[in-house]
Structure formats: C-alpha cells, structure tokens
Amino acid sequence: MSASRDMSDISIFRDDDEDTGGGRSSTGSRSRRHQDRRRRRRRRRRKGMSGLALAAALLVLAVVIGGGGYLGYGYLAAYFQPPDFEGAGTGEPVTFQISDGETGADIGQRLVEAGIVASVRAFTNEVDDAGAANELAPGFYELQPQMSAEAALAALLDPEHRIGDQVTLVEGLRLDAILAQLAENTEFPLEEWEAAAEDTDALELPEYAETGPEGYLFPQTYAVEPDADPTSVLNQMLAQYQQVATEIDLEGRSATLGYSPHEIMTIASIVQAESGRVEDMDEIARVIYNRLDIGRELQMDSTVMYALGDFGIAASYDQLDQAASSPYSTYANTGLPPGPIGSPGADAIEAALSPAEGDWIYFVATDPENGITEFAETEEEFNALVDEFEQSQQGGG
C-alpha cells in the first residue's frame, strides 16, 4: 500500500495580514477580529472541558479510595492469603482423579468441587511455590476432605496415595502387544484381557470397525480406575478414539476422500508402521493412495510381518511365501488389507486424511537407524534407493 499523501486532503490555516491591493482593507480587519473571537471561545471551551475532565478523574479517584480501595485490598488478600483448610483432612477418604492434560488450575477447581481444598488459589499457589506444575501425573488418588492445599499437593505427589493402575500405550502397538502390556500393568491375567477383546458385543466399537478392536485402542496414557475390569478399560480406550475421531471429523473427511473410516484407519496403521519420522507420514500416505489409484499391489512389508505375527523392516522371500495366503499380504493381493495392523496415533491418522502431493510410487527406508526414508517415482530410482539401503545394512554407507 502506498505511503504517499494527497496534499489536496490537507487544509492549511494561517492568518493573512497582507494587504489586498496594497493596503489593509476594513473587510480584512473585521475578518481578523472575527477569527480572534473564535479563538477565545475555543480556549474557554477547552478550559471548561479540562475542568470537567479533572472533576471526573477526582470522582473516580474518590471511589477507588473510598470503596474500590477496599475491594482492591480484598482481591489482593484473596490472592496472597486465599481461604485454606488446616491439616491433613478429616472424614471418609475420597477417590480423586487427575486426567491427562489437566492444568494446576483445572485440578484445583475440581478439588474445591470435591470439598478437598478450600480454594483454587490456595492450591495453585502451592503448586507454583513447589514448582510442581509438571509433576502432577494422571491417575487416581486417595485424599481426605478438607485438606490444606499443602497437604493435598503432597498427597498427589506421593506414590503411596495413588490407587489403581496406569498404562501408557505408544503409537503403532498391535492388539496382542496392547493386551500383554495391560496384563503386565494390572492385576488381571492375559487370558481375561484376550477374552474381553474377543467379546465385541460388550465393546463400544465404532460401527465401521469391521475387524474388531485392532487399530481402535487409541495410544496414550490411561489411568485405570480401581474397580475397573478389562472390558471397561478397553471401552475407555475406545471412547478416547471416538473423541479424537470426532474432533478431526474422521467420517466426514473420509467420505470426501472416497474411503470409509475403516479404510482410512487401515491406511493410517500402515503409515504408522512404515514411518521412521512424523515428517515422512504424509508422503508415505501418498504412495499408498497412488498405488491404490493405479490398481498396483501396495507391497508393504509391515502387512506381511503382521500376517506372520513377526516384526522387521524388510520381508525376506521366505516370509513373502509364508504370508502369501493371508489377506494381509499386500504382495499377494491388491487393495487394502482387511483392517488396521496396529493402533495409529493422531499424526498417522492426519497423514492418511491429508496425504502430500506427489507422484511417488516407491519409498525405501535408506537409513532405518536414523529414521531416514526416501521416495521415488520410477523403478530405476527405486532400485538405486534399494542399493543405498543394502549398503547401509552392510555398514558401507
């Protein structure tokens, strides 16, 4: 935008004492007297307005000193000396939960609502003083009613007051690995977790989850309620998935792409399994879509490993032969496998919904140790990348 000015919009005022036709005219004198009177009236008005402004300011000051000052003092007192209980509390124990992502103020508000502490400010002051904002971990805790803020914070930081279990699921875990981890971190044996996963009628699965809970137990940290059973815990994880799916409009965006939500979750699970870095996910997703578009086999080693119940970044010829009869072999079959091959995280789901633009048909993890993946459009470029991968595996580059 131009910074120049149009001088025609600027009015310049000045007194003109010059003669008209060589001397001062009576008209010019009357004009100057008229201008002088107008200047005096303006000065009087400004003076009057200044007086009114001063009076208004004094009135406001009086209110602050007379009444508002008291309110200000009360606010400061509430900030620095907020209401607080004394001691470690009394009465029957209370089960209190800290949820993932809650701030100190969030926790303080719910502590007040539960009758555990007297005020949010008393609790947040303690949190700030202790530098404990990042130490309040999700989970269930046994507290007392009417605890001092200091005692409540100490209890929330004390593992002895934690009840129930806590499980952290990382992105990409398969269902069997999730169930094994749940069994390891809770009092329920693996058999009960497996039975709960197989009882799909008792699980709150999305309608489109055609192959059961595989891929739909959302990865994050979960606090397991003290009286929870395996079915309720799995439903807690499914509920978290549903919340994420709703927030990102999974169903609407899947329809826009021409795929079902189940197919998108299947793509996302492959993206998760094949990616060494988040930065590569949208490009890997594009390779999958490009292959689907031309009717070419996906040839994803991760699906072969899933079919065999094995792990690895590159399937051998023997493994390809062993998996050939499985619908999860994307070497032996065109199109997508029947369902997800693990639980994708939010980044992989987003990549499946928003693939990068490109004409790549191939990708190779040329440096798996450092998570480096490279992409190719032609078979010649692909073969060069395979050579690079083989050299890296042999320690030659």
Q: Are residues 176 and 157 in the same domain?
A: no
The verdict on residue 312 lying in a domain is yes
What pLDDT is attached to residue 238?
Answer: 98
Number of domains composing the chain: 3
Q: What is the CATH number of the domain that holds 104?
A: 3.30.1490.480
Last residue of a domain, one of 180, 212, 247: 247
Q: What integer is the mean pLDDT of 179-203?
A: 96
pLDDT at 48: 44
Please indicate, yes or no, whether residues 266 and 382 belong to a single structural domain of this protein. Answer: yes
Cα(278)–Cα(33) distance, integer angstroms: 80
Nearest 5 degrees, angle CA 9-CA 12-CA 18?
145
Q: What is the mean pLDDT of residues 341-348?
A: 98
Does one domain contain both 272 and 381? Answer: yes
Q: For the residues of 1-12, what is the DSSP string, one character each? A: ------GGG---
d(CA 215, CA 206): 11
pLDDT for position 47? 43
Which of 212, 247, 282 is the last residue before a domain boundary?
247
User: What type of residue sits at position 268?
Assistant: A
Q: Work out the pLDDT band at 99, boundaries 50, 70, 90.
A: confident
**34 has a pLDDT exceeding 80:** no
Residues recorded for the chain: 397
Q: What DSSP designation does 64 have?
A: I
- Does a structural domain hold residue 145? yes
384 and 267 in one domain?
A: yes
304 in the same domain as 196: no
Of the two residues 133 and 35, the one the predictor is more confident about is: 133
pLDDT at 323 exceeding the cut of 50: yes
Q: Indicate whether 132 pLDDT > 70.
A: yes
| Range in 94-103, 197-206, 351-360 the model is least confident about | 94-103
172 and 143 in a common domain:
no
Q: How far apart are CA 216 and CA 201, in angstroms?
A: 15
Whether residues 355 and 233 share a domain: the answer is no
Does 79 score more than 90 pLDDT? no
pLDDT of residue 316: 93
Phi, psi of 325 (to 5 degrees): -85, -5
- Range of 272's domain? 258-393
Q: Which residue has the higher pLDDT, 96 or 11?
A: 96
Please check whether residues 152 and 178 belong to one and the same domain. no
Tell me, yes or no, whether 324 lies in a domain. Answer: yes
Domain boundary (106, 141, 163) is at 163
Position 44 confidence tier, pLDDT thresholds 50, 70, 90: very low
Does the predicted model carry a pTM greater than 0.85?
no
The reply to whether 78 falls in a domain is no
Q: Strands, DSSP E only, in the chain? A: 94-98, 139-143, 162-163, 165-168, 221-224, 362-367, 372-376
DSSP designation for 392: H
Q: Is residue 185 part of a domain?
A: yes
The pLDDT-based confidence of 9 (bands split at 50, 70, 90) is very low
Q: What is the DSSP letter of 356?
A: P
| Structural tokens at position 238 | 């499914």
Q: Average of pLDDT values for 27-46? A: 43
Mean pLDDT of the chain: 84
The verdict on 205 and 320 lying in the same domain is no
104 is a domain residue: yes
| Cross-strand partners of 243 | none
What Rg do the C-alpha atoms of the chain give, in angstroms? 36
Q: For residue 54, is pLDDT > 90?
A: no
Say if CB 267 and CB 285 are below 8 A apart. Answer: yes
Average pLDDT over residues 152-170: 92
Q: What is the pLDDT of residues 204-256, one digit of tens each?
A: 999 999 999 999 999 998 888 888 999 999 999 999 999 999 999 999 999 99
Question: For residue 52, what pLDDT band results from cuts at 50, 70 and 90?
Answer: low
Confidence check: pLDDT of 71 > 90:
no
Nearest residue to 273 (alpha-carbon basis) of 170, 387, 367: 170
State residue 37's pLDDT score: 44
Residue with more model confidence, 47 or 164: 164
Three-state DSSP class for residue 163 = strand
Asked if pLDDT for residue 3 goes beyond 80, the answer is: no
CA–CA separation, 260 and 266 (whole Å): 10
Phi, psi of 364 (to 5 degrees): -140, 135
Q: Both 213 and 291 in a single domain?
A: no
- Identify whether residues 124 and 237 lie together within a single domain: no
DSSP 3-state assignment of 37? helix
What pLDDT sits at residue 74?
52
Percent of the chain's residues with pLDDT above 70 = 79
- pLDDT given for residue 203 in this prediction: 98
Same domain, 292 and 170: no
5: in domain: no
pLDDT bracket for residue 318 (50, 70, 90): very high
pLDDT at 354: 98
Q: Considering only CA atoms, which of 140, 84, 154, 151 is closest in space to residue 112? A: 84
- Looking at residues 298-320, what average pLDDT do you find? 95
Q: What is the dihedral of CA 90, 94, 99, 102, to 10 degrees?
A: -20
The 10 Å Cβ neighbour count of residue 287 is 25
Provide mean pLDDT across the span 291-306.
Answer: 97
Find the mean pLDDT for residues 292-312.
Answer: 96
Listed in sequence order, the DSSP H helices in 224-280 are 230-247, 250-257, 261-274
- Tell me, yes or no, whether 52 lies in a domain: no
- pLDDT band, residue 38 (cuts 50/70/90): very low
